[in-house]
Amino acid sequence: MSKKTVKDVEVKGKRVIVRCDFNVPLDDDGQITDDIRITSAIPTIKYLIEKGAKVILMSHMGRPEGEPNMKYTLKPVADRLEELLEQKIQFISSPVVIDDQVKKAVQELKNGEVLLLENLRFRIEETKNDVAFSKELAALAEIFVNDAFGTAHRAHSSTAGIAEFLPAVSGFLIEKEIKFLGGAVEHPERPFLAIMGGSKVGDKITVIENLLKKVDTLIIGGGMMFTFYKAQGLEIGKSILDADNVSLAAELLRKAEKAGVKLLLPVDLIAAKEFSNDSEKGIYSKDSIPADMMGMDIGPKSIEIFEKEIKKAKTIIWNGPVGVFEMPNFAVGTRAIAEAMANSEAVTIIGGGDSAAAVELFKLADKMTHISTGGGASLEFLEGKELPGVAVLDDK
């Protein structure tokens, strides 16, 4: 799948509209608490500035439900961009995103200048992929660049609709996502290992099904391991259970066996009396979980087995923590996996979401080959689905 990138088009003197993913978390004072999504977009923006483009940036933030809600203004993003780019960012907070003042400012942009539009989701049309709104956005520019991998699985006006009316190419972030995620799934260096965590089996079923056709080994940890234990007839005490999907977990175990994939579940775990960091806890084997306790992390024997698998692998994809890593006492397993991956020679890919948050927390992000910026998008990519925001880009 070879898509055109910003390097394949002449941008000098052209108005270039870039869809970024600036959906960053804010605290109660409106301060950005994690700016990785902004810093991830900088290489594409800098390239366009250096090449003399007139740059128009657009993004959504939060869920203003199609209403101009100033709690979700992109003003904090504009301020942070000014710091990172060390230049003035024009920001016009229009409740309708595009008005006469915005149009005039866009027309007056000089080469290398940058303007940021207000939150796209102030307009109900954005998420409906409304043609009229797509046209309004397209009318501002001569080239469309999509660099928002985090929303590439959504067909919205700013991710897919706009591409009907302008030449459409990817930024460096989407290019990198396609290269690593796509490369790992289509042409992995083997052994290929996938580690799946998180709590709900339901969210990951199709991903696991698709990966069973591709991987050599699949490790399952986190809250969803208990649904697999249940499928094997084990007692899980008060542990989290995705009750609707026990039979599906059993089916996945059969499919793995049939495909000749080594599917590994933890052999031991840390269980606690309560869902709290200070709870009374102990180490138990998987077939002796006390009735009044809940599993919170994988155990030491499991860590040892999983570390060996990580050492052997040449390509590793990790999506979802293997324990309640937000609580220090139950972060041991997730940290061990992150450290083993950081020390591995393999191509290591973190599939967004909580696993990305975990490697950031353990300060191991720079030791990974690639950290995907899109939780939902990376999962859909791993499911083998075509992402609307990527499909619409011009082919090379």
3-class secondary-structure state, position 103: helix
DSSP per-residue string spanning 130-196 = -HHHHHHHHTT-SEEEE--GGGTTS--TTTTGGGGTS-EEE-HHHHHHIIIIIHHHHSPPSSEEEEE
Which class for 57: exposed (0-12), middle (13-18), buried (19 or more C-beta within 10 A)? Answer: buried
Query: Distance between CA 197 and CA 200 in Å, rounded?
Result: 9
Catalytic residue among 198, 353, 374, 389: 353
Q: Is 200 a catalytic residue?
A: yes
Q: Which helix (H) or strand (E) holds 388?
A: helix 388-391
Asked about 112 being catalytic, the answer comes back as no
117: exposed, middle or buried (C-beta count within 10 Å: 0-12, 13-18, 19+)?
buried
Which two three-digit tokens encode residue 300? Answer: 């030491």
Please tell me which residue in 3, 14, 19, 37 is annotated as part of the active site: 37
376 in active site: yes
Is-catalytic flag, 204?
Answer: no
Catalytic-role residue among 62, 183, 376, 384: 376
Dist. CA 76–CA 2, nearest whole Å: 35
Burial class from Cβ neighbours inside 10 Å (0-12, 13-18, 19+) for residue 110 reads exposed
Residue found by looking up tokens 């504009």 in the block = 78
Half-sphere exposure in the Cβ direction for 292 (13 Å, CA): 3
Identified catalytic residue from 200, 255, 301, 367: 200
Quote the tokens at residue 273.
């009396």
Helix axes 36-50, 75-85, angle to 10 degrees: 60
Q: Which residues are catalytic?
A: 37, 200, 353, 376
